[in-house]
Amino acid sequence: MAKANRTVHPINTPRTETQTLFAHVTGGGAASNCTLDAQSALNGEIVSLTYSSTGVYAGVFRYQYPALIGAPIISFGGAGTAGIMGLVSAIDVTAGTFTAKFYVGNTLTDLATTDIPYFTWSVRNSGKNS
């Protein structure tokens, strides 16, 4: 099997220093923190996703950035809970923190151990030319 190409390329956007970031975690079960696989724990973009209350989690990013360009999108992998969806209800990339909420229908729902939320968001790596 060939190894992935790890060359970094800039994103073509009208603004300089734009970066698209990716991360994933695994649900911890009822009233539990999410877990990170070994690679994500070592150098993933999300350091932790901690249980706050039913379906609500406080997150910490590994790095801080001067500006958010595109709000996080959450998609799901794994066997997972049927109908689960998530949204980031608060985010501060300058502080490196966010709040994520997970629902089935209109009901806040804790992430099961089979739920794997994938996050994608875009930031500016610099305040220049904004």
Closest CA to 67 of 8, 9, 13: 13
CB 111 within 8 A of CB 59: no
**pLDDT per residue as tens digits for the range 17-43:** 788 899 999 999 999 999 999 888 888
DSSP string covering the chain, please? Answer: -PPPP--------SSTTEEEEEEE-B---TT---B--HHHHHH-SEEEEEEEETTEEEEEESS--SEEEEEEEEEEESS--TTEEEEEEEEETTTTEEEEEEEETTEE-PPPTT-EEEEEEEEES-STT-
Judged against a pLDDT cut of 60, whether residue 5 lies above it is answered with: no
Which residue shows structure tokens 């070592």? Answer: 42
Alpha-carbon span 13 to 31, nearest angstrom: 41
**pLDDT per residue as tens digits for the range 50-105:** 999 999 999 999 999 989 999 999 999 878 999 999 999 999 999 999 999 999 99
CB 55 within 8 A of CB 109: yes
pLDDT band for position 1 (cuts 50, 70, 90): very low
